[in-house]
């Protein structure tokens, strides 16, 4: 029987780098909120069974932003860091999904995700034993600098990619790798790094460059433009 697909959306951040008084996932964007665009992009995919959203216990905005399709949305507790929120979301899925089911982990802060990117991830990784992630090969020259912005070195960009989300892995393997990496005190900023630490080799799938993460104020304007060009206004 073909594995099912599920999603986990970490949405418990405070958006320090955005500098706003509400978390960036609840900021207005192209007629809706950031998180509504993100959830809609996943809800509109027919193969995604349900979405577990990790929300902070102090969150005052979540109930207002629930999309119409509430029955496919499950709330899980957010954690101190993104990896803890994801781990909590995965734990919530263990009772609903099979161990070899696929889970797509996607940042709430990436509202411009395209259907084509989800399809490409699913098609490319069909039958893959582990999984992989959307990413972009780096086409600029890369510099490493000190805290004062002085160049320390030019980094060879050969083979360098920027990781994005969704990152799609087999549920039980990801849950176990993430729990063990967290317990070992490993710095886990994405799901792939936990899988790599566990000895797996995730597969990179090239995605659209407009699948940006809303981090700083200027990212909102860029995302607004991307969504309008795609006709995705609320
Ligand atoms: N404890 C945390 C921290 C982050 N996230 C989520 O992980 C995604 C990517 O994280 P990031 O862009 O760093 O969001 P913030 O942590 O909110 O941003 P900042 O670092 O500027 O505070 C976001 O959707 C964010 O809501 C989360 O679920 N739980
Ligand atoms: C998961 C991620 O979006 C991949 O690029 C990124 O690592 C999230 O980093 P953040 O500092 O938690 O935004």
Compute, in angstroms, the gap from residue 2 CA to the centroid of ligand 1: 32
Sign of the torsion formed by the C-alpha atoms of 127, 48, 9 and 85? negative
Q: What is the DSSP letter of 205?
A: E
In a domain, 30, yes or no: yes
> Can you say how many angstroms the Cα of residue 171 is from the centroid of all Cα atoms in its chain?
15
Return d(Cα 203, Cα 163) in angstroms, integer: 11
Write out the two tokens for 48: 């995604």
Return d(Cα 233, Cα 222) in angstroms, integer: 14
Residues with CB under 6 A from ligand 2: 82, 107, 163-165, 189-190, 213
In a domain, 189, yes or no: yes
> What's the chain's length in residues?
234
In a domain, 89, yes or no: yes
**How many structural domains does the chain have?**
1
In a domain, 47, yes or no: yes
Return d(Cα 230, Cα 169) in angstroms, integer: 28
Question: CATH no. for residue 121?
Answer: 3.90.550.10
Compute, in angstroms, the gap from residue 190 CA to the centroid of ligand 2: 6
Q: Tokens 């780098």 identify what position? A: 17
Residue 111 beta carbon below 6 angstroms from any ligand 1 atom:
no
* pLDDT tens series, the chain, 234 aa: 789 999 999 999 999 999 999 999 999 999 999 999 999 999 999 999 999 999 999 999 997 767 677 889 999 999 999 999 999 999 999 999 999 999 999 999 999 999 999 999 999 999 999 999 999 999 999 999 999 999 999 999 999 999 999 999 999 999 999 999 999 999 999 999 999 999 999 999 999 999 999 999 999 999 999 999 999 988
In a domain, 97, yes or no: yes
User: ipTM, 2 decimals?
Assistant: 0.98
In a domain, 207, yes or no: no
In a domain, 154, yes or no: no
In a domain, 141, yes or no: no
14: containing domain: 5-129+164-200+212-229
């Amino acid at each position: 029987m073909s594995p099912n697909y599920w999603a986990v959306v970490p949405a418990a951040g405070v958006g320090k780098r955005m500098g706003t008084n509400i978390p960036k996932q609840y900021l207005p964007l192209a007629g809706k909120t950031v998180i509504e665009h993100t959830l809609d992009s996943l809800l509109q995919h027919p193969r995604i069974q349900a979405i577990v959203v990790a929300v902070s216990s102090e969150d005052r905005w979540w109930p207002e932003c629930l999309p119409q399709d509430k029955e496919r949305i499950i709330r899980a507790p957010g954690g101190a860091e993104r990896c803890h929120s994801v781990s909590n979301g995965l734990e919530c899925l263990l009772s609903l999904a099979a161990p070899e089911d696929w889970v797509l982990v996607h940042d709430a802060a990436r509202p411009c995700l395209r259907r084509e990117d989800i399809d490409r991830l699913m098609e490319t990784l069909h039958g893959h034993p582990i999984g992989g992630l959307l990413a972009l090969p780096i086409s600029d020259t890369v510099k490493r600098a000190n805290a004062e912005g002085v160049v320390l070195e030019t980094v060879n960009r050969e083979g360098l990619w920027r990781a994005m989300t969704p990152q799609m892995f087999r549920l039980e393997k990801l849950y176990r790798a993430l729990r063990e990496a967290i317990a070992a005190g490993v710095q886990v900023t994405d799901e792939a790094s936990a899988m790599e630490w566990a000895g797996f080799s995730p597969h990179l799938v090239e995605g659209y460059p407009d699948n940006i993460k809303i981090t700083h104020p200027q990212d909102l304007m860029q995302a607004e433009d991307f969504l309008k060009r795609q006709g995705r206004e609320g």
